[in-house]
C-alpha cells in the first residue's frame, strides 16, 4: 500500500495513525486469513483493549468466530489455547457472501428468475365483500 493510501484511506487496511497507535502493543496472534490481532492498554473501565488489523479490505465478517469471541472479551486466552479443537461435524468458517454472486437467493427471488412455486390451493384471497 502506498504512503498516500495509508494516510487518507481506512477501507484498504490500517492507516498510519492506527499503525502508530499500535506501537508498544502486544501482537497476540494471526488467523487463517492473515488478520493480525493485538492487545494492550486499558479503556476507562480497566478492560484490556484489543484490535484486529485486516489482511485486505476492512470487513468485519472476515473475522472467524473464535477470534470474534476473543475481540469481544467472551474468552480471555487466545483461541488456539482457550478453545477445544474443531469437531468433525462443524463446517469451516466462510465470509459473508451478501452482495456477491455467491449470495443465497431463495426460490422466487428476482435474481433467481422471479418464479416461485404455485400455491397448493389452500389459499383463498381476501375480498372486501366476503
Give DSSP secondary structure letters for the chain: --HHHHHH-STTS--HHHHHHTTTPEEEEE-TT--EEEEEEE-TTSPEEEEEE-SSS--GGGS-HHHHHHHTTSSSS-HHHHSPPPPTTSPPP----TTSTTS---TT-GGGTS--PPP-S------TT-
Say what the pLDDT of residue 81 is. 84
Distance CA 28, CA 120 (A): 57
pLDDT above 90 for 22: no
Average pLDDT, rounded, for the chain: 81
Confidence of residue 2 (pLDDT cuts 50, 70, 90): low
Where do the structural domains in the chain lie, given as residue ranges? 3-87+94-112
Percent of the chain with pLDDT over 70: 83
Confidence of residue 38 (pLDDT cuts 50, 70, 90): very high
Say what the pLDDT of residue 4 is. 63
pLDDT in tens, 23-33: 888 899 998 88
pLDDT in tens, 55-98: 887 888 888 888 999 999 999 888 888 888 888 998 887 778 88
- Nearest-5° angle of CA 94, CA 100, CA 103? 60
Placement of cell 366476503 in the chain: 130
Amino acid at each position: 500500500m502506498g504512503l498516500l493510501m495509508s494516510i487518507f484511506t481506512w477501507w484498504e487496511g490500517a492507516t498510519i495513525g492506527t499503525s502508530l497507535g499500535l506501537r508498544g502493543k502486544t501482537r497476540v496472534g494471526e488467523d487463517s486469513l492473515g488478520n493480525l490481532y493485538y492487545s494492550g492498554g486499558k479503556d476507562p473501565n480497566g478492560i484490556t483493549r484489543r484490535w484486529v488489523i485486516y489482511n485486505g479490505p476492512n470487513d468485519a465478517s472476515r473475522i472467524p468466530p473464535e477470534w470474534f469471541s476473543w475481540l469481544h472479551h467472551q474468552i480471555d486466552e487466545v483461541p488456539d489455547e482457550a478453545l477445544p479443537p474443531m469437531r468433525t461435524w462443524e463446517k469451516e468458517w466462510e465470509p459473508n457472501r451478501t452482495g456477491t454472486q455467491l449470495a443465497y437467493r431463495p426460490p422466487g427471488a428476482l435474481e433467481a428468475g422471479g418464479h416461485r412455486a404455485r400455491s397448493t390451493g389452500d389459499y383463498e384471497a381476501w375480498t372486501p365483500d366476503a
